[in-house]
Amino acid sequence: MNSRRDFLKHISGAALVASAAPSILTWALPQGQSVPVPGEDGMILRSFRFVDLEAPVEYFNTWLTPVPHFFVRNHMHEPSELGAGDWRVTVGGEVEKPLTLSLAELSKIESHSVVNTLECAGNGRSLHRPQVPGIQWGKGAVGTARFSGPRLRDVLQRAGVKSTGNHVMFRGLDEVPGKVPPFIRSIPMEKALDADTLLATHMNGFPLTKHHGFPARALVPGWIGAASCKWLTEIKVLDAEFVGNFMSTGYRLPNQPVKPGDAVKPEDTHPVTALNVKSVIAGPSDGASLKTGKVAVHGAAWAGEADIAKVEVSTDGGATWSPAKLGHDQAQYAWRLWSYEWKPAKVGDYTLLSRATDSLGRTQPATAVWNPSGYLYNAVDQVKIHVS
């Protein structure tokens, strides 16, 4: 075996048991051996074959998510060899002057920062009923970071977009296993030219880590995470939306609500773009047992390209609602932390709910809109606790 990946390929996923040690996440093997998993302390491993890490909701108590606690979503293997010196990104397609840029050249272009809440379209998939196949994300495939790097539009302007350019396609350097199609998607020109759409090289002030797309990734703020291609190697201006697995089949929603088992024709679907309005309760934890006294119910709420207008909390299973206090930190595409101080009147079992409303007037529904791929789950959040 010549690499850790080869070793990992040799151990059957089904035979493994996850165990979170205090400082490093490891997989305990039946023989008592363990191998380090390229995750971070306390993160939930959702897929071992390709690294998919989810944050426990209890981590959502800072406006900016520390990078080690930022979820990771990979459709295939992360690139194995990535030297900053050798790396290049090409810009071609419907442009006047195709370009090739090194990291040094990219870093000479004016940098811009955007605090963005990045959420996987499949976040919350495990909560849809009936259940749908795919990575069974709980609530933590979301995080907020300050992303920095040149604006995509400044790079496109250098290349000179032709009048025939309508979409911008991104290709990553992922290692594509077997017959899996490569991770290639495109965004419409209007979003590509938005002043906040970036070729991000930094996250929370530091160069991107490999999990998050080193040395450069697209950052398409307010949109599902899949729009923000990691390990960029090619940017191509197209005359129309990219045709391929992750654009024409994946990441699409039916135009009309459908029921499980309904046949959905591709022409009756559209690509998922901006995120929904949503809130989650970070504390108290589901199943917690508390003593009487003051309880801080708190969490985070976000709404893609829109702003959070209010978050309401119910401590009686939805019979009555009270406004939560929104945190001071805010930015256009970033979540708001919120909190609500509650003093339970008596001991017993309680269901706590949170419900966000955004500047577009959208409110989290009691039940999320079911769809065959389990995207954009955003039902009112709930935790059950006991007060003794």
Interface residues with ligand MTE (CB under 6 A) are 70-75, 118, 120, 172, 174, 183, 211-213, 225-226, 228-231
- Count of CB atoms situated within 10 Å of the CB of 334: 23
Q: In this structure, are residues 338 and 310 in contact, taking their beta carbons and an 8 Å threshold?
A: no
Nearer to ligand MTE by C-beta: 138 or 160?
A: 138
For the record, the structure tokens of 131 come out as 């259940």
274-137-209-36 Cα dihedral, nearest 10 degrees: -170
DSSP for 96-144, written as a single string: SS-EEEEHHHHHHSPEEEEEEEEE-TTTTGGGSSS--SS----S-SEEE
Quote the least distance from Cβ 163 to ligand MTE, whole Å.
Answer: 29
**Least distance from ligand MTE to the Cβ atom of residue 174, Å:** 5
Residue 189: which H helix or E strand, with range? helix 189-192
Q: Which is nearer to ligand MTE, 32 or 83 (CB)?
A: 83
Strand order from edge to edge, sheet including 142-150? 111-119, 142-150, 202-203, 206-207
- Nearest approach, Cβ of residue 61 and ligand MTE (Å): 19
Judged by beta carbon, residue 183 or residue 377, the one nearer ligand MTE is 183
Q: Looking at beta carbons only, is 178 or 293 nearer to ligand MTE? A: 178
Nearer Cβ to ligand MTE (93/122): 122
Q: How far is the CB of 122 from ligand MTE (least distance, A)?
A: 7
- E runs forming strands in 12-69: 17-20, 25-28, 34-36, 44-47, 52-54
Minimum CB separation of residue 139 from ligand MTE in Å reads 14
Q: Distance between terminal CA atoms of the chain?
A: 55
Nearer to ligand MTE by Cβ, of 118 and 235: the residue is 118
Work out how close the CB of 192 gets to ligand MTE at its nearest, in angstroms, rounded to a whole number: 16
